[in-house]
């Protein structure tokens, strides 16, 4: 299609394409045929997602091939090993063999759970992602991370399993509830903070257009986000160094999600809070300039009102951060920005300053005016 862009991602098993553009799903059957011949096609999704976008996927796949549908509930609390087993058993009943292809249709939870099921079913079958949320289209569907949560923390069981292809159709975002869409903008803001000052400035200038889902503005920021993620994971697929910068705000976010039983926040909302906390913490330990911290918080606030910061003790949140993947030898590490467009990982340093930031973040983020000191 005229406005469709193909962005290549390097992985341990070769390159795969992210096909990105409005109407990209119309060519789904052609795109799948281009990556191989499969004995059967299995769509893994949730009933709510399928009711919203199933017609687009079905049209794209066409009627020439029988498609088996496998569904599960896709709330964050459903991101567990039980559902991985359920999908695997459903695949067995449907006769899926090693030449089958699994198409994960949905947001981050569907992609992570279905991806982990594909990675482990018969020791691995082909996987195609069709992300339907802004978070998934710009972040979670790209890079090969799959996994589920444990009661002890987020994403503690999983695998690096690159998909054979990702199809990003921006048209399906029209079906997304406004709350989910606004939360998804947090991941887009993240890319501006960590890697592209021009993207951040574009977001500042066009946030109202994005909130109104202007096709041109939305297409630009999604494509640019995919390009940034593709470049980062192509250099560091297994998160041994550079890829850590993609976790800006996420150490705080995962603690907030865990502390509230994965029921209070959508992932993007937790990331929004986490990025504000990371901006404040970076400023407190003299990494992030005051002007940049102010810009980050101001832009996030323009996304809309977030669910309130939880009534959880700072020490409890720090305890939950101990299970973060970036922790080394019991020492907490955070991705922080020395300036918009750049990011790196830093040791937490003094716990007292971290506790202070956890106490003041909700007050500063909700204040009518921000007063900064350098």
With vertex at residue 252, the alpha carbon angle to CA 213 and CA 359, rounded to the nearest 5 degrees, is 110
Which residue in 70, 254, 283, 295 is the catalytic one?
Answer: 254
The Cα–Cα gap between 228 and 235 comes to 11
Active-site position among 3, 80, 213, 239: 239
List, in order, residues 6 or more apart from 223 with CB less than 8 Å away. 5, 7, 20
Phi then psi for residue 85, to 5 deg, are: -65, -40
> Annotated catalytic residue: which of 27, 42, 70, 250?
250
Question: How many other CB atoms sit within 10 Å of the CB of residue 7?
Answer: 18
**SS3 of residue 66 by DSSP:** coil
Whether 239 sits among the annotated catalytic residues: the reply is yes
Distant-in-sequence, close-in-space partners of 211: CB < 8 Å, separation ≥ 6: 181, 182, 185, 303, 304
Residue 243 annotated to the active site: yes
Active site residue 247: yes
- Give yes or no: 129 in active site: no
Active site residue 123: yes
Query: Active site includes 10?
Result: no
Structure token digits, residue 200 = 């951040």
Task: Please report where in the chains the tokens 């009711």 appear, as a residue.
Answer: 51
Give the active site residue among 154, 164, 229, 283: 229
Is 250 tagged catalytic? yes
Active-site residue, 229 included: yes
Identify whether 85 is a catalytic site residue.
no
Tokens at residue 243, please? 């890829």
Catalytic residue among 123, 263, 363, 373: 123
- Burial of 258-280, coded b for 16+ CB within 10 Å and e otherwise, reads bbeebebbbbbbbbbbbbbbbbb
* 254 noted as active-site residue: yes
Catalytic one of 27, 164, 224, 243: 243
Catalytic sites, residue numbers: 123, 145, 187, 229, 239, 243, 247, 250, 254, 267
């Amino acid at each position: 299609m005229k406005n469709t862009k193909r962005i290549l991602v390097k992985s341990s098993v070769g390159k795969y394409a992210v096909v990105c553009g409005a109407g990209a799903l119309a060519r789904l059957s052609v795109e799948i045929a281009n990556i191989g011949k499969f004995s059967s096609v299995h769509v893994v999704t949730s009933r709510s997602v399928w009711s919203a976008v199933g017609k687009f996927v079905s049209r794209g796949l066409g009627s020439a091939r029988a498609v088996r549908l496998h569904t599960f509930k896709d709330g964050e609390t459903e991101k567990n090993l039980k559902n991985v087993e359920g999908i695997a058993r459903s695949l067995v009943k449907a006769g899926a063999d090693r030449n089958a292809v699994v198409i994960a249709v949905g947001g981050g939870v569907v992609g992570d759970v279905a991806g982990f099921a594909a990675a482990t079913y018969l020791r691995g079958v082909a996987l195609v992602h069709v992300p339907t949320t802004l978070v998934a289209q710009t972040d979670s569907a790209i890079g090969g991370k799959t996994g589920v949560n444990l009661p002890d923390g987020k994403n503690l069981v999983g695998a690096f399993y690159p998909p054979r292809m990702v199809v990003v159709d921006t048209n399906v975002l029209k079906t997304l509830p406004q709350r989910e869409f606004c939360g998804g903008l947090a991941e887009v803001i993240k890319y501006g903070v960590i890697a592209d000052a021009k993207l951040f400035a574009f977001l500042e200038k066009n946030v109202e257009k994005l909130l109104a889902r202007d096709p041109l503005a939305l297409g630009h920021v999604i494509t640019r986000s995919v390009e940034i993620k593709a470049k980062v994971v192509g250099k560091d697929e297994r998160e041994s160094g550079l890829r850590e910068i993609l976790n800006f705000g996420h150490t705080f976010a995962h603690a907030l999600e865990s502390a509230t039983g994965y029921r209070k926040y959508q992932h993007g909302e937790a990331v929004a809070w986490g990025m504000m906390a990371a901006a404040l913490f970076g400023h407190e330990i003299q990494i992030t300039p005051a002007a940049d911290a102010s810009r980050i918080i101001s832009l996030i606030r323009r996304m809309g009102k977030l669910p309130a910061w939880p009534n959880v003790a700072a020490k409890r949140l720090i305890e939950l951060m101990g299970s973060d993947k970036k922790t080394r030898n019991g020492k907490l590490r955070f991705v922080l920005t020395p300036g918009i467009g750049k990011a790196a990982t830093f040791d937490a340093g003094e716990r007292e300053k971290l506790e202070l930031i956890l106490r003041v973040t909700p007050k500063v983020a909700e204040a009518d005016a921000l007063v900064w000191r350098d």
